[in-house]
Amino acid sequence: MSINTLNPNVMESDRLISIIQNRIRIQIPSQYQQEPIISQLASNYHLEISILAAMLGANGEGNGWFDLLLTGSVTDINNGLDYLTQLGIEILDKSDQETDRW
């Protein structure tokens, strides 16, 4: 099994897209613990997601939190964060510094 890493120099419609990284910590309510929130964030918003840390209650009970590193375009990351907000998922910490991977 190999991990496919996003190319930092992505061409999209003949223009160069800058790829950045943004670290966030989110709290996922127990009502969503059986839903593929992180998977949908990756696939629907074209993001590469690294789980840096996570904590869930025993048997998935209670709220859980995830420390995530998002990699993608500024637009895709912002759209992904909007998706989380629309679901009512609390973003506890968001790095203000975006790291350009050029």
Question: DSSP labels for 46-76?
Answer: T-EEEEEEEE--GGG-S-EEEEEEEEEEHHH
The answer to whether residue 69 is domain-embedded is: yes
Reply yes or no on whether the pLDDT at 61 is more than 80.
no
In a domain, 23, yes or no: yes
Tokens of 25: 């910590």
Residue 5 lies in a domain: no
CATH of the domain at 66: 3.30.70.260
Confidence check: pLDDT of 49 > 90? yes
Which pLDDT score, from 0 to 100, does residue 95 have? 72
User: What's the whole-number mean pLDDT along residues 40-65?
Assistant: 89
Domain count, the chain: 1
Q: Between the CA atoms of 8, 12, 15 and 18, what dihedral angle is there, to the nearest 10 degrees?
A: -30
In a domain, 6, yes or no: no
Structural domain includes residue 62: yes
17 has pLDDT over 60? yes
